Structure 1
Amino acid sequence: MKRMKLTNKLFVMFVLSSVISCSNKIEYGPDPYAGGKEPLDVVFQEGTPSPSQAKVGSTVVFKVNGLLKYKDQIKFYINNVESDIVDITDSTLTSVVSENTSTGGVKAVVNGQVFAGPNLPIIGKLGIDLTFQSGVGSNGPLFSIAKFSNNQIFIGGMFSDYNGNGASSKISGLARITNAGEFVRGMKFGQGVTGNVNSMNELNDGNILISGGFQRYDTVSMIKNMTTISSVGALLVKSTPILNLTDDPNKSNIIVPAFNGGSETSILKTFVQNNKVTIVGGFKTYSSNYYARSTYDNILTDFFGMNGVIRMNMDGSLDSTYFVDHKSIPKRSYAGVNGSIFDAHLQSDGKLVLVGVFSNFNGSNAANGIVRLKDDGTFDSSFQTGSGANGTVFDISYVKETKKYILTGNFTSFNGVPTNGIVVINLDGSVDKSFQSKGFTGGNPSYAVQLSNGLIVVTGTFKTYDNIIREGLLVLNADGTLAQDYNNTGRLVGTVNDSLEGTNSLGQRTLTLVGGFTSFNGKSNLGNIVRLTILD
């Protein structure tokens, strides 16, 4: 299989996650039995506690032998949060679930010796949606999820199977699923993409623009990492005249992708607005097929230098009025940022916000991790970010209801204001001081989305927030405090790349997460997709 490059953002998150994982290897410490210590006869019995799941403040009985003789020397923990012990017999321990406890394993500590017990699910307003039938999910990372007309839900990424359907249906980078998470058969993806799909946009005519890292769709090449497909997944093509140097009249025209344009390397994100297509990524050139001088056996490619940002017309042709320095001779692209773009957002007024790891735009405009471009691609000095972020910005999320942005990353301040990995900024770039981060340890937040009810879901590699154990996923109020009753779930292992808010068949609010993760809340083999229920 041909190896494909991931986007800059995903690659850096993978590296950082690996570093963090390496730095958090299990430290066993000194031998607890050294110095003449005898192993204790404490054993958790098989079986679930009673009740098998519990709310904060409720009493739970655990089956464990041998603790009675040590009753004055015991500490008891649920997911590393100490819980009060209310009763001990020779075969049971009864404890009250403490505030801020989340789903996780229990343990008893006696004179420095640790005895691991069962997992205890904590009941709250957040949980895994059991009506979502994704099964084992995908066998590779998912980079995007989108809901289009007629309630069509598409997932894009770098995968060849979804819930075991790859054996009977060809799957490669794209799939359609129902609102219940089931695989939809009968689509016309053909061989799919030879690579990965990072971004998907529905067009006014109901067709779909996909982009990412691929040079072929189904059996058709001549694709520049983006193309258009129908609502049922068939590649949109057209017949175009070419140079015929033979006597064969059949070689005067060729069937080609309808969308003719893109970049020479992978595209991170794509936006469609006002009959224009804007793409961002780590590319250095715009490219298109030059059919007028091509022959049936030799398709020529036209190039134009474009540094990280390109705007095109709806047929893929370059919009040379955008992000191009018309004062230069010959005309050329602006220099752009002096680093990497990890995420972007296109405002309704045509202004484009870029985030990542960089310090300037066009070599002269200060832009520490964030910059906004005007609707012609020039630097927007009205965006009041000041000194910006003092580290990398991984993700930007726009909130329609508040007209504000949420940024996450490994920064600790933004324009001089302490932020500790997450900050909310106003549309003019100034810090919204009504939101205050309480701080992360053990890693960084890498993705955040604010729901329509105002709650903010944050994911990443962190272990705690506000010194409270929240491993990989947490839910905040709009002011940055932990949302009561919504932080009951256990550890998320992996990276979230995209999400989709919706409702399930029971009318409950849901949030579907996709990315590169294996387990959440004690459930393994999720296959990079899981849907949460968020009770109001």
Structure 2
Amino acid sequence: MMITKNRIAVIFSVFSLLLTGCTKEAEVYEEPYGQGKSPLGIKINTTQVPTPASGLPGTNLTISATGLMPYKDQIVFRVNGEQATVTEVTESGITVVVPDYASSGVTSISVGDQVVFGPIFKVNGYLSLDPTFRAINGANNAVMQRYLTDDSKVIFVGAFNNYDNKGLVKPINRIVRTFNDGTYDASLRSGRGANGLLSRIIRIGDRYFVSGYFNGYDQRTENISNITSLFLNGSVDTMGVKTFRRPTQTDTTKYFPKFNGGVAGEITQMHDQGGKILVTGNFFYYVSRQYDKPNSIKRKIQ
């Protein structure tokens, strides 16, 4: 019995030594990066609406904030990263001038290397969308010119064959007239329009002249060489001509485009020069037709 007690005592002593050998005091180290900087105490509600909510460069912008006064001479204010000129700092806010190259984005206040973010400010451009313009889809291809008529309507010419999806009901080929707000004007009598590009339109007297790269307009599918005249309602201007006939034939009157001229190639520019028409483009000679000659002789002038 004594042997057993002695054996237990020895085992307990060894276990105590093992516990003592495994115990080590915890070491406390210093903060490797030093103490963090104390908060600035500047408070800005990032959901507030600035005064004004938007503006052009040069606008005086005011944002509500507290805790600014201790840093009045150290503050750097930015609009989406672009530094602004601070004009006033008060207990309740800050006023700055929106910088020239600012863009819409988050405002911020910096003091040294600490940054406090503010609300979003929208910088307006010098051009902006007109919300009263009612054309939703517009033209489905290039518009080459916008022409303002005397009655404040607008004629567009170009490479399109649809405008605001109205071409699904009535053909709209390279010419369309709208009201000033972009609404489609169905009263233009252009018929099937031009069968090719219209690049320019001018008015001389009581006629429009359209030019570009086409050889047909509405039902006139021949005798047009990239330029023709239109009535003010948009229909092609025609004239009746007694064409050449053999002695055994009776007189026949046919109708042709009244503007008897054109060029062999594309017209890119057209101008009114004192009642005359000046055109430039990718062409080599001028053409006109003599309908009283056999086969309507076409004259070419280089």
Given the two structures, how large is their TM-score scaled by the length of structure 1?
Answer: 0.37
Residue equivalent to 1:290: 290
Residue equivalent to 1:127: 128
Q: 1:58 aligns with which of 57, 61, 65?
A: 61
Once the 2 structures are TM-superposed, how far is the Cα of residue 124 of structure 1 from its aligned partner?
6.5
Note closer, same or farther for the CA distance 1:277–1:150 as it changes in structure 2 (3 Å cut): same
Matched position secondary structure for 2:298:
strand
- Residue 193 (structure 2) pairs with residue 196 (structure 1): no
Residue equivalent to 1:260: 260
CA contact (8 A) 1:54 1:60 kept: no
Output the CA distance in 2 between the equivalents of 1:119 and 1:234: 54
- Residue 301 (structure 2) pairs with residue 304 (structure 1): yes
Output the CA distance in 2 between the equivalents of 1:164 and 1:136: 7
Residue equivalent to 1:144: 145
Output the CA distance in 1 between the equivalents of 2:48 and 2:298: 66
Residue equivalent to 1:181: 182
Output the CA distance in 2 between the equivalents of 1:102 and 1:197: 41
CA contact (8 A) 2:228 2:257 kept: yes
Matched position secondary structure for 2:197:
strand
CA contact (8 A) 2:62 2:95 kept: yes
Once the 2 structures are TM-superposed, how far is the Cα of residue 256 of structure 1 from its aligned partner?
0.7
Once the 2 structures are TM-superposed, how far is the Cα of residue 101 of structure 1 from its aligned partner?
3.4
Output the CA distance in 2 between the equivalents of 1:164 and 1:120: 37
Within 5 A, what are the aligned runs for 1:365-444? none
What amino acid does structure 1 have at the position aligned with 2:219? T
Once the 2 structures are TM-superposed, how far is the Cα of residue 50 of structure 1 from its aligned partner?
3.5
Residue equivalent to 2:223: 222
CA contact (8 A) 1:57 1:99 kept: no
Output the CA distance in 2 between the equivalents of 1:102 and 1:268: 39
Please tell me whether Structure 1 or Structure 2 has the larger radius of gyration of its CA atoms: 2
In the comparison of the two structures, how many residue pairs are matched?
224
Note closer, same or farther for the CA distance 1:120–1:157 as it changes in structure 2 (3 Å cut): farther
What amino acid does structure 1 have at the position aligned with 2:288? S
Output the CA distance in 2 between the equivalents of 1:59 and 1:184: 46
Note closer, same or farther for the CA distance 1:277–1:105 as it changes in structure 2 (3 Å cut): same
Once the 2 structures are TM-superposed, how far is the Cα of residue 288 of structure 1 from its aligned partner?
1.7
Within 5 A, what are the aligned runs for 1:441-520? none
Note closer, same or farther for the CA distance 1:172–1:107 as it changes in structure 2 (3 Å cut): farther
What amino acid does structure 2 have at the position aligned with 1:146? Y
Once the 2 structures are TM-superposed, how far is the Cα of residue 126 of structure 1 from its aligned partner?
4.4
Once the 2 structures are TM-superposed, how far is the Cα of residue 232 of structure 1 from its aligned partner?
1.0
Output the CA distance in 2 between the equivalents of 1:258 and 1:48: 67
Once the 2 structures are TM-superposed, how far is the Cα of residue 289 of structure 1 from its aligned partner?
2.2
Once the 2 structures are TM-superposed, how far is the Cα of residue 284 of structure 1 from its aligned partner?
1.0
Gaps of 5+ in 1: 1-46, 62-73, 87-93, 109-117, 306-536
Write out per-residue CA displacement over residues 196-235 of structure 1, whole angstroms, 9 at most, x where no aligned residue.
221111121x221111111110121211111111111011
Residue equivalent to 1:239: 240
Gaps of 5+ in 2: 1-45, 65-75, 87-93, 109-118
Output the CA distance in 1 between the equivalents of 2:137 and 2:95: 35
Write out per-residue CA displacement over residues 122-171 of structure 1, whole angstroms, 9 at most, x where no aligned residue.
24664332222222221111111112222332111111122222222211
Name whichever structure is richer in strand by fraction: 1
What amino acid does structure 2 have at the position aligned with 1:181? G
Write out per-residue CA displacement over residues 77-127 of structure 1, whole angstroms, 9 at most, x where no aligned residue.
63xx624599xxxxxxx996731135556699xxxxxxxxx9964246643
Matched position secondary structure for 1:292:
coil
Output the CA distance in 1 between the equivalents of 2:120 and 2:236: 48
Q: Percent identity?
A: 22
- Residue 277 (structure 2) pairs with residue 280 (structure 1): no
Note closer, same or farther for the CA distance 1:102–1:216 as it changes in structure 2 (3 Å cut): farther
CA contact (8 A) 1:144 1:155 kept: yes
| RMSD (CA atoms) | 3.5
Write out per-residue CA displacement over residues 325-363 of structure 1, whole angstroms, 9 at most, x where no aligned residue.
xxxxxxxxxxxxxxxxxxxxxxxxxxxxxxxxxxxxxxx
Output the CA distance in 2 between the equivalents of 1:120 and 1:167: 43
Output the CA distance in 2 between the equivalents of 1:273 and 1:119: 53
Note closer, same or farther for the CA distance 1:49–1:95 as it changes in structure 2 (3 Å cut): farther
Within 5 A, what are the aligned runs for 1:109-124? 121-123=122-124
